[in-house]
Chains A and B, each alone.
Chain A
Amino acid sequence: MLPELLQGTDAGGFLIIQDSVNYSGRHLLWSFINAALNREEAVHVLGFEVSEEELKDGLKGSHIQRLHFHDAYTDPLGWTDQPAFTVHQFCLEKLTHLIKQTSQHKPATLVIDSLSWILRHRCPPDVCKTLQQLKKGGAVRVIIGLLHADMHQRGIVGSVCHLASSVITVAPGMKGDEAVAKTTKRSKSGKVMQEEAIFCIKEDLTVVVQSKPSHLGSRQTDPEEQETDPTANLTFNLRLSDTERKAKEKLALPFVFSKEKKSALLHSGPGSGRILYEPDANDDYDQEDPDDDLDV
């Protein structure tokens, strides 16, 4: 599922890359930026955690001219006179204005690096509201946000992820540059798909999905367990040969009757009846006064 998300085959939505201190999701985020740039889409980056130079250095060799960096790294809280972008400007009007300024033609990709910064300084319901408005509004095609899940309370992470159409949770893998991505994708019809994949990111920011380890480890152990047959070394016979089986079936068990006798015993004859009752609108169910003899 990870390659499809990278290719951006979906009509849009809101994607969250959830990471923790054990493994940074920023390289995967850059891969998403790179993939979007290669598709010749305009990409707007709200950079809180990484400077413009570092990002552009990381994206060497891509079509950087379509990348629009909104610098919130130098002054995220607006302490100087000329802040480029601050946390407090994270609202629908400002962002649509910013995006409309530069890319008029096509809905753009908005990358937020990272949502954690915004969530630290703004109240979560407002952030959720803005994200939902952006998702519904026409200016942005895809929102991709990085979220450091271990920085926030579980409820905040849950609330933000509840809005997302796809969530990729990254964790370190077994070997050096490998990582495990757990992808959850919600389709519009309400269907939920989940997948786990081991991936590594190459120098040119392409993502190579190595395998789909979906419970491979646990499945390998299963056949071994089944191989040990407890009936293998028994001192007595558990099996029947064909002749033995025939002999067994020929034997009539006590109290086994013929079909006719059984049906005569079990089926009640035509003389008996049964009560079928359907409640009716005029039925009166009165628990307090069944006999109607009290002055209620």
Chain B
Amino acid sequence: MAAKAEVRPRPLKVEAIKSSVDMVEFGKALRDLKLDVLGTDDSPIPITGYYAPCTHPKVSSLFRLRRESLARSSVNSFGSRNKCPVPGMLINTNNMLGFQNLDVASLLREEGKKILHDILCGKIEECPSLLLRFLVISFADLKNWKVYYNIAFPSVFHSKMTLLSLHSASEVLSQEEAASLSKSMKEWCGSNETTVLPFFWVDITSDSSVVVRQLKDWKDRQGGAQKLLFGFYDHGCHQDYPGWALRNYVAFLSLRWKIEKVQFLCYRERLGGVDLEKSLIGEASFAAPHGWDGSDYVPEVIGWEGETPGDGRKEMKLKSINLESLSPESKHSQVDEQQLMHLKLMGWRHFPVDLDKLRGTRCLVLGAGTLGCEVSRLLMTWGVRKLTVVDGGCVAMPDLVKQSLYVEKDCGVPRAIAIVPHLKERCPAVEVEGIQMEIPVPGNPVSPSKIASVLDRLKKLVASSEVVFLLTDTWESRWLPTLLCANGNKIAITAALGYDSYLVMRHGAGPGKRCGRMDDVIAQIQNWSTEDALGRQRLGCCFCCDTTSLVNSLSNETVALPGLTSIASGKAVELFARILHHPEGIHAPGDIAGMDTEHQLGLLPHQMQGSLPKCVLSTVVGNSSKNCTACSNVVLSEYRKGELDFIMKAINQPTYLKDLTGISHTSIKSETCLNFPASFPVNSGKLSSVGCLILGAGTLGCDVARILMDYGVQKLTVVDSGRVVASNLARQSFYTYDDLNTPKATAILKRLKERYQSVDKLEFKECIMEIPMPGHSVSSDEEADVREDCEKLQDLVATHDAVFLLTDTRESRWLPTLLCANENKIAITAALGYDSYLAMRHGAGPGGSSEGSDVLPAMTKLPAEDVIGRQRLGCYFCNDVIAPVDSVSNRTLDQQCTVTRPGLASIASGHAADLLARMLNHPDGVHAPADIAGTTSERPYGLLPHQIRGSLSNYNLLTLMGYSSSSCIACSDVVLSEYRSRGLDFVMQVMNEPTYLEDLTGLTELMKSADYSQVEWADDDDDDEFPDIC
């Protein structure tokens, strides 16, 4: 065991510290910190590591990072010698590129400077563990559950130290000295104050008594000790080398305390006490380099873990932690956590979502039809985990296209039962109960016993829920739930569809009491005021404006334009999230679009009404009517007097409610109720023959594909390169737990086919491929593949009639845009911001091109007009003044994951698909001029705008029109003619030369001459630039 006796001085060689990062716990703590606290902030944060002296005969102690490493320092104030807290710094970057770009050498130098500074200014005496200061750089790839990191233990002046001698302590110390050293060290380690201090000094007097002292006591030192040892906890177990900590200690001792030859003691343990065989005593000297005391002196530093000694090369191994749980039981909770990640990410830049509140809210969804399916799914996307779905009907074949969750084999199964597994497979953590129950309708007599049982059940359901969604397909069936909600003061949200218009509203609070007397029911009822509990005028319910009151209209089957469901559902859940986050909840006053609000989440309207053909969205506030058949005081008090009797009368006597509320006497005219305009037949012949190419099978892709099917589209090709991951499930409407890791393009087709198995006319194709993108340069190895992809895409565009651009980055839309303009195909773009969306159709390609037999002359005369001589409309890129570049690698996590409000994608998809239907119905098709909202159109299907931009928080819907720009990087004549003459060579050049497009189109010139434009557009760019991702 004895160390070799050293006679000859040699460079001081030490044993490196090895770190051990407790993978699951530290990784998880870092993940939570990043998601919940840090957000996009990547500035350094303090962190604590744990150092220990060697305790094992053959194993050096590890330097550990644990879950409490990231906790506040107060938590780390206690410890023991086996867990000495050491201060460190963590730099956690936002993405891999940032991680790779960190200048590790200069970061380490900075740390070295800090150590030198602490030595010189005396901080070390106060806090000796600063000598062990460490640095962690990391990138927490939360999406893929990985953490990449490197650790450095900076060590200064490593080459300037000389080891003069080194012996086992047992050889140096006399038996008496050894005995008293053991005793003193035991006391040192037994004291709470000193046990965590890894550095100390030892006085051995001539009578062999030993005193162990703290560094801060140095100045009080009385001379006369026979031996002086500078001790430190040594993590290493090597008999020939002291541990890493020695070097900084020697630097400190000689620079601060001016000790020329340092007698050191490497403290190592056995059996809970000092192990004198293993512990080393030696002597080292340090030759301070010239200028070390200068204020800006930078010491030489080494210390990145993983650098191999010897060759001096700076190559560190990248360490990584896989956070993906090993045990299956926590797999489910991980899936859930991944599904909630996008909500947490909202807090990074926008409004922090109250996940606990959402998770704890029980939602009662009445109706599991078109709206019920969409709303239930979107509620899960919002993090709602408790759902009760009530429906009385069964899944029927014709409904499949409209009701987004059901598949063909559900036909004939009650909807309330069929919906449960479909929700579960998208979000395993959801707790969903399906209840098959027909809600009684006024004017539609039912037996008293049935009413009694239904009423009883419904009452209990309403009472046990926090929010009630009224999504049944008739107006009348909402009456009883509305009454119950007003009575119970529950949040109620109604969504209703007309043929091409929709209404989404929240009901007002129930009536408040005038004063606090609670004696009996009658007294309470008399005390009801028209105000709610907060003393505000109550907002209306969905019956408040409805004077026609409850005519039995069960026969009217709802027929609505396909995209409408998605739009209305998206708005309904948005309204839900807003109420839940509003401090006043159900009592919140109704906002009107255009108002200012100090509330972070934006406006909280009372009613929203929208119309597809008119391209309008309006917000309305209506107060509770005293004649309302569902929520007025007179109805409520009658109900409280005799619950069942009253309900029975209302349902079995057609005029009872009218007489009670006096509606039959007053004649208020109201236009609030939905009017059902004469419907125009969707030109399904055209739609069924049109071939649609969907680029991107993410959130938008799923919704658009489904809505198109609903419109009767039968030929569909989906292009995507990604695979389904857990965080997709709740947001991307088609994918289920079983689809994990399947390519999206395959999974989406499987789901589409599953729903329409028996329809054999359908022509579905998948194409798993990455769309070539400008700015993502292509190496010569990849070139052949990329060219092949380009050709594939050319072919796909040429063989389809309409192309949907639904990919997740701006640059991936460039090539398709160019190809569509070239082929004069219909191209429709949908893009999402955080709470705003864009749906637009690209203009037609330039006219007069394809006819010429000779290519060259045809190109030179590409006109600014399209074939029918109209000015061409713009494409997605026409407003941009910068060419797309690689926007992927430098994104932060929330940008990678497309943080948008759940529901937004549904709305955008609805508008995008609707645009196609309108274009196909327009006599001019792709050449149709752009309409602007507010104008009237004599065509039955209404306006055909160029761009629709909407914002959820401002409740506006804008129709914009822009003409094709002559310097557009995707559809301008100069780009098109270049493409036509050079083909793929041109495309490859665009990929590889970032500025080529800008130079070609003159944008470079433009930017030089007018820098204002860049500023002007920068904002806008942000808006529609976070597109949808996988």
Whether both chains belong to one complex is answered with no
Which residues on B are within 8 Å of A, measured CB to CB?
A: none
